[in-house]
Structure 1
Amino acid sequence: MIIEVPPNWESCEIGEVTKVVGGGTPPSKDPTNFETEGGIPWITPADLSGYKNTFIDRGARNLSEKGFAACSAAKMPVGSVLFSSRAPIGYVAIAANEISTNQGFKSFVLPEELDSRFVYFYLRHIKPIAEAMATGTTFKELSGSTIAHLPLLIAPLPEQKRIADKLDTLFGWIDACRERLDRVQLILKRFRQSVLAAATSGQLTEDWRRQNGHIRDSWISTDFQSVCREITVGHVGKMVSEYRETGVPFLRSLNVRPFHFDPKDLKYISQEFHLKLSKSTLRPGDVVIVRSGAPGQCCVVPAELVEANCSDLVIVRPGPKLAAGFACVFINSEMAQSFVRSERVGVAQLHFNVGSMKNAPLLLPSLEEQQEIVRCVETLFAFADKLEARLEAARSRVERLTPATLAKAFRGELVPQDPNDEPASVLLERIQAARQSRVSISSTSIKRKLRSQIKTDKKPEVTMYELSEIQPNHLTNLIKGKGRVTAKALYQIAQLTIEDFYEQLRSEEGKGFLREVREGNESYLEAT
């Protein structure tokens, strides 16, 4: 992702103009560290999972004063922008009130020259950049020093507000569109359920019976074992060593979906092993039902699977009075699924056993009416499938709107520019000047408190670096290898003159790479 600076905008690193704030978690085994009412609002990435609002005022639980004191969580003011830095990277929200977070965030306290909604939308836009900058093996994470290098685009402040207002409006429309599409999905689900309910109750073929001289009373109440040649189960046992690149198709639960066979991740076994598993051999027209995990999903083995086998599926081989297609319709209906739910067994994993399938109740019309029912269901489901395909296409277009709109906004093309706006260059200079002033005061304070520790000690004879020769986070990297250190100890290993040491300390503190902490009467420096 390439960031281009629009005309009259400025760019910088986000750590140059904001304060980067980490978070913390007190010992979770002590319940008094947390409160559900009152206390200090505290956010974790889990609180933002599925969260759709821009502003957030609290998470699932708050920190007590005791819990806050027991961890490195920090209070941030209203308008701070929260950004999850791990598991996952890229959740964003704005603090609606004073708030704190756990260590899964690196958040930004903004100067008054930056609109919090503008920064919020911008961080959503550059999520791919943040993910690319993350490091780690078990899971990716952004450190405070790394996240401070995120690129930031700055527009004139009035333009920031115009962009944020426009994005609020557009995303409101996009969200409303998503909700409408979700309702269509629900309507289609209910439509299919209604078709199956009508099919298994006889309502679907009322006109057909009237036209063909059939009556509803001809339906008989029976069970599956009475109208099937065989009901058995697929192979149950370890299979990993038996899989081959090619051979006989071997179906598992994930290959069975309601009304259709799914070839995704289909496995294969050798012909020799297939012949050993004669009990679980599949033939076109067999009905297979998921037995474990999501019991009850059912489809008919298609004609193209001339030779196949399976694992842990219930296999139903219809007799002459039962059409395979009707058996599939009936088993996927709510009537049969309710029976499946009542018969499931197991704790760690639910199962639907062969014995229950044999005893499953069945309302059976004539073979001729079964075939008509299957034809009607297939016709209506094909209509629903077409609508669903159009729905998915519409959803895809809607999902592309968000990144496209953000990209347009941060190319400077979403709202008109006003030549009367204060230029972003002046805005950036003012932010940096104010920040320099605050940092200088802070560093002077640190310098005054810590100089007494350093000035009495002679610098060891080592090779000294110029500031131009070191990394922007030179001191922070040294701290990371040692944890919390005194300024004296850090100076001894920094390989800088005392004036350069204080200049670098001021710079890294200003960028949020490190901070001063106190324990009793002692002062230390630590990486953020």
Structure 2
Amino acid sequence: MKDSMNNIPAGWVWAPVNDLCQFNPKTTAEDDSACGFVPMQGLGTRYLADTSIEQRAWGDVKKAYTHFQNGDVLVAKVTPCFENGKAGIARNLPNGIGAGSSEFCVFRPHPGIDSKYLLGCFSTEDFRRRATVAMTGSVGLKRVPKDVFLGEQIPLAPAAEQTRIADKLDAVLSRVDDVNARLDRVEPLLKRFRQSVLAAGMSGQLTKDSREDSDSWEQTTVESIADVGTGSTPLRSNPNFFAPQGTAWVTSAATGSEKIFSAQEYVTPAAITAHRLKKYPIGTLLIAMYGEGKTRGQVSELAIEATINQACAAIVVDDRLMRNDFVKFALKANYLKMREMAEGGNQPNLNLSKIKTFSLPKPPLDEQTEIVRRVDILFAFADRLEARLKAARTAAQRLTPAVLAKAFRGELVAQDPADEPAAELLKRLAAQRPQAPVGARRSRSGARS
């Protein structure tokens, strides 16, 4: 039964966090005592995720870092760590003590307050949303103020029910984590599936059942079946070379897309003339010759007429010799090989001569058409699986906040009328709270009057 006035179950009360725990308590220990050290990256983003602990000497960390002990709740207060959900419970600390980032807030629950229950409250979407709005500081370095944490009114269940809720959250959210972990493993499988399809297509395995002549395939080079070129970068110091409109100018960064439908920048006729930029037609294949990370070796296709920079190789296939879409698949199938061909020090690059002499399989045109048809069918199947995976991941990611919200509405476990009401727990905690000296109470009272 719910308390209709407060929208919480009977036996529950609303209580400020400040009444339920100590905030950032200090630890005293010998300097040579072993302790656990938790940097910001050691704190997880999932409810009850494992915390990475480094062993340190207490004397090395006691001054510059936040203190905590086993059972304390840790919450990152700084952006973007707070919004990302970095929080957890200190466990398995050497000698039961630890220290960590000065951007942690530490909450030590009073007797009768379950650590996992308190962590769950700080992990709800409602609290994170309100606390994010209340952040203070400069852009990029905002923090949740202490008063926002301590003034947060949480729905406090009886102590026994807190334990039941915490245990249920453990069981349910561990299964949610398992689901998310399994879904995370599917995407790499789909990527490998596509690469396997391309490899089968380019080796002839995909169409061997329909091939009459086993010797009908040849090997060719890119320059034998296409015009190959590149571009350049107009001088940015010349105000007449770039404009809000004009001819699209594409860089290697755009090759991350399957097709390029627009450009970030446009060049003028003056730039095209001065730098002898060639306008490449729709259907031109682009290979990234330079680029950080996974960019180098990526293949894309122009869906617009465009000029390019010197970090791209442009391939205009002669459709009398080979199908453009077959060549595109063949280049994609050799992504890793092209990356290995790059030369240089810290930032190895491909060059145009390597692109021109790159070897490609050349089956008869009718077999190229059949290979493209079969690859398209299999890729469409993978696309459908990927769409279903995306929907499943979205649904799975909503499970944790939904379960937490349900828990703190009192809907996750059954209430037991025999439980001591939370109001009695609060009274007991208030009675155990150290009282301020009489003079101090008078001083505060006088300040308010």
Which of the five TM-score ranges fits, normalised by the shorter chain?
Answer: 0.7 to 0.9
Tell me if the contact between 2:134 and 2:144 (Cα under 8 Å) persists in the aligned partners: yes
Correspondent of 1:79 among 68, 71, 86: 71
Tell me if the contact between 1:82 and 1:92 (Cα under 8 Å) persists in the aligned partners: yes
Give the CA RMSD over aligned residues: 2.9
Q: Equivalent residue for 2:102?
A: 103
Structure 1 residue 50 displacement after superposition: 5.6
**Which letter does structure 2 place at the counterpart of 1:77?**
Q
Q: Equivalent residue for 1:377?
A: 375
Unmatched 5+ stretches in structure 1? 25-32, 448-496, 506-528
Q: Equivalent residue for 1:269?
A: 266
Q: Distance in 1 between matches of 2:355 and 2:26?
A: 54
Deviation string, structure 1 residues 451-508 (Cα, Å, up to 9, x no partner): xxxxxxxxxxxxxxxxxxxxxxxxxxxxxxxxxxxxxxxxxxxxxx865447799xxx
Q: Distance in 2 between matches of 1:367 and 1:337?
A: 23
Deviation string, structure 1 residues 392-430 (Cα, Å, up to 9, x no partner): 111111111121221111122222212221111111121
Q: Distance in 2 between matches of 1:255 and 1:261?
A: 9
Q: For 1:32-431, what aligned pairs fall within 5 Å after superposition?
A: 39-49=34-44, 53-54=48-49, 56=51, 58-59=52-53, 61-74=54-67, 76-87=68-79, 88-89=81-82, 90-97=85-92, 98=96, 99-125=98-124, 126-137=127-138, 138-209=140-211, 213-215=212-214, 217-228=215-226, 230-237=227-234, 244-257=243-256, 260-263=258-261, 266-270=263-267, 272-273=269-270, 275-276=272-273, 279-291=277-289, 292-293=291-292, 294-302=295-303, 305=304, 307-311=305-309, 312-319=311-318, 320-333=320-333, 336-347=334-345, 349-431=347-429
Q: Distance in 1 between matches of 2:243 and 2:266?
A: 5
Q: For 1:461-500, what aligned pairs fall within 5 Å after superposition?
A: 500=442
Tell me if the contact between 1:300 and 1:325 (Cα under 8 Å) persists in the aligned partners: no
Structure 1 residue 196 displacement after superposition: 0.6
Tell me if the contact between 1:288 and 1:301 (Cα under 8 Å) persists in the aligned partners: yes
Correspondent of 2:15 among 6, 12, 15: 12
**Which letter does structure 2 place at the counterpart of 1:47?**
G
Q: Structure 2-normalised TM-score?
A: 0.84
Distance 1:339 1:176, change over 3 A: same
Q: Secondary structure at the match of 1:325?
A: helix
Q: Distance in 2 between matches of 1:247 and 1:192?
A: 37
Q: Structure 1-normalised TM-score?
A: 0.72
Q: Distance in 1 between matches of 2:167 and 2:234?
A: 60
Q: Distance in 1 between matches of 2:251 and 2:379?
A: 25
Q: Distance in 2 between matches of 1:208 and 1:418?
A: 71
Of 324-333 and 288-297, more deviation after overlay is shown by 288-297
Q: Distance in 2 between matches of 1:313 and 1:22?
A: 58
Q: Distance in 2 between matches of 1:184 and 1:315?
A: 34
Q: Secondary structure at the match of 1:195?
A: helix
Q: Secondary structure at the match of 2:117?
A: helix
**Which letter does structure 2 place at the counterpart of 1:12?**
A
Q: Distance in 1 between matches of 2:288 and 2:15?
A: 56
Distance 1:199 1:122, change over 3 A: same
Q: Distance in 2 between matches of 1:41 and 1:289?
A: 49
Tell me if the contact between 1:86 and 1:141 (Cα under 8 Å) persists in the aligned partners: yes
Tell me if the contact between 2:228 and 2:315 (Cα under 8 Å) persists in the aligned partners: yes
**Which letter does structure 2 place at the counterpart of 1:299?**
S
Q: Distance in 1 between matches of 2:201 and 2:192?
A: 14
Q: Secondary structure at the match of 1:218?
A: coil
Tell me if the contact between 2:17 and 2:153 (Cα under 8 Å) persists in the aligned partners: yes
Distance 1:279 1:54, change over 3 A: closer
Tell me if the contact between 2:230 and 2:312 (Cα under 8 Å) persists in the aligned partners: yes
**Which letter does structure 2 place at the counterpart of 1:102?**
S
Q: Distance in 1 between matches of 2:353 and 2:26?
A: 55
Q: Distance in 1 between matches of 2:104 and 2:252?
A: 39
Deviation string, structure 1 residues 225-275 (Cα, Å, up to 9, x no partner): 2222x21223335669655444433333343236x21547x3242552574
Q: Equivalent residue for 1:471?
A: none
Count of aligned pairs between the two proteins: 420
Tell me if the contact between 2:286 and 2:301 (Cα under 8 Å) persists in the aligned partners: yes
Deviation string, structure 1 residues 367-394 (Cα, Å, up to 9, x no partner): 2222221121111101111111111111
Structure 1 residue 351 displacement after superposition: 2.8
Deviation string, structure 1 residues 47-67 (Cα, Å, up to 9, x no partner): 1256674453x52x3332331
Tell me if the contact between 2:44 and 2:87 (Cα under 8 Å) persists in the aligned partners: no
Unmatched 5+ stretches in structure 2? 1-5
Structure 1 residue 328 displacement after superposition: 0.8
Structure 1 residue 113 displacement after superposition: 0.9
Distance 1:48 1:77, change over 3 A: closer
Deviation string, structure 1 residues 338-367 (Cα, Å, up to 9, x no partner): 321222234554432212211222222122
Q: Distance in 2 between matches of 1:73 and 1:390?
A: 44
Residue identity over aligned pairs, in percent, reads 29
